[in-house]
Structure 1
Amino acid sequence: MSGQRVKLAADLAAFATRIGHDFRRPELLARAVTHASLSSPTRPSNERLEFLGDRVLGLSIATALFQQDGTAAEGQLAPRFNALVRQETCAEIAREVGLGDVLKLGRSEMLSGGRRKEALLGDALEAVIAAIYLDAGFDAARDIVLRLWGDRIEKAAQVDTRDPKSSLQEWAQARGLPPPTYTETARSGPDHQPVFTVEARLANGETASGTAPGKRAAEQSAARALLARMEQQE
């Protein structure tokens, strides 16, 4: 085994320790961290695992929320669920466990900052969850999910988990206004780690801006700020 392969195996073993699972089939973890940019006929990417992991994650979180609050209606559980399984949350947890450090990426993806990209991190975490599920079953995967998500699950019932863009659009439609518009007004930072500033605007002339590492996150930040202002004025 070459020195590079030895290092990769050691890095993956350290990552497995961080997330709390001892893989009986370490090849599953290796596949879970392999992006399509480095895949080949003999080296499959993590895309199929991502598909499966999304479902394992969803069932784990839905069950936890259902059991946590026996009085919550479906309309209360759904936004909590969406907040916990959305890409931003998965990427945040992926960063906490250092998943980006062990991603196997093609050269172009690596040079473009793939290890920090929200979509790649979120997808890879779902693939890792699937790898655990295939390696040790649903209970093991669920236990890892609950540990990694930690008090986020409990806090979901205590914070506003509405999607800001959807909420702002609903606010506008309820008052006879067309959907808000979003305009990128600034972009800073290096190409591999850009920071976006986006302006949200309502047809009544009200605006607010948001800044974040991702364009979608910046739009949500702007929508959240604008919605808060509109609700305060009522």
Structure 2
Amino acid sequence: MVLFNDLREWLRLAEELGEVKHVYGADPHLEIGTLVQINGRNMGPALLFDRIKGYKEGFRILTNSMANIKTVNLTFGMPPSQSIRETVEALKTKASTWAEEAKNFPCEFVSSGPIMENIEEGDAVDLEKFPVPLWHELDGGRYIGTGVGVITRDPDTGWVNMGTYRVQLHDRNHVGFYISPGKHSRIHRDTYFARGESCPVVMVFGADPLTYILAASEIPHGISELDYMGAIRQKPVCVIKG
């Protein structure tokens, strides 16, 4: 059973398991990417960076949230002591059940929530206040995603898809992102473009790891990752219409 509703609750539970390592004062361009890669290879704990060089305290980065089996089990609501083999077998068994049950848990639209605590619009938007590292030496720029849920809607059927794609920061209020051919959001985008229309997009940053891993998963065509997540949680996912 999934025991958390958002990233804050997931972090609290991961802390209780001893699976969060706090890292202070790291350089976002020379150190963070390297530390993340080394930690991932060693299947270490989640890394929570704060007091990042050049940024205000409290503007944090969470990485490696599912780098080992304990945090994977936490994310999917499975016993922390369960082995890798047991978890893989359980996920193989449950995947089709969740896909079938997704229709019973459509996302629920609500009027407010924690996401509304801070709102910036128009010229007030400043993405550069968030720490965006240079993750790899040969990257063409700084990427605020891949750890993101990119949400699009099919203009004909209303089917909502959530995927994860690399999102590059261009300046204080512009990002660019790439979707490979054949991906569900690419199909949505191309449908809009073929009509000469712009494609509405929502990008979700700072969500819990379950949201992220489902956005990165191959969910069957026509099933919304939000509804699939509802099946895993056994309750609808609450969302706000932008």
Q: State the TM bucket, normalised to the shorter chain.
A: under 0.3
Instruction: State TM-score, norm by structure 1.
Output: 0.25
Higher-helix-fraction structure: 1
Larger RCO (CA under 8 A, 6+ residues apart): 2
Q: Considering fraction of residues, name the structure with more strand.
A: 2
The structure that has the greater radius of gyration is 1
